[in-house]
Amino acid sequence: MLFNIEALSPHLSTSTYDRSLEAAREYQLRTALSRQREDLRSQKRTEPWRWFAARRVA
């Protein structure tokens, strides 16, 4: 039989479980946003060099 936190009675562990779920959601959101920002930054960084390289090759 599997025993996980969802199987526990709600009144016993809801607050801790909810807090951990909320923390996990916040962490996922934060990492997704920072990853997105980093992707945008790297695109902005590399695109002009791609243009110059394309011009040189062509």
Q: Tell me the pLDDT tens digit for each residue of 3-56.
A: 555 555 555 556 888 888 889 999 999 999 999 888 887 776 666 666 666 555
Task: Determine the Cα–Cα distance for residues 22 and 29; give it in Å rounded to an integer.
Answer: 10
How do the domains of the chain map onto residue ranges? 14-57
* pTM for this predicted structure: 0.46
Query: Per-residue b/e over 12-44, b at no fewer than 16 CB within 10 Å?
Result: eeeeeeeeeeeeeeeeeeeeeeeeeeeeeeeee
CA 26 to chain centroid, in Å, comes to 9
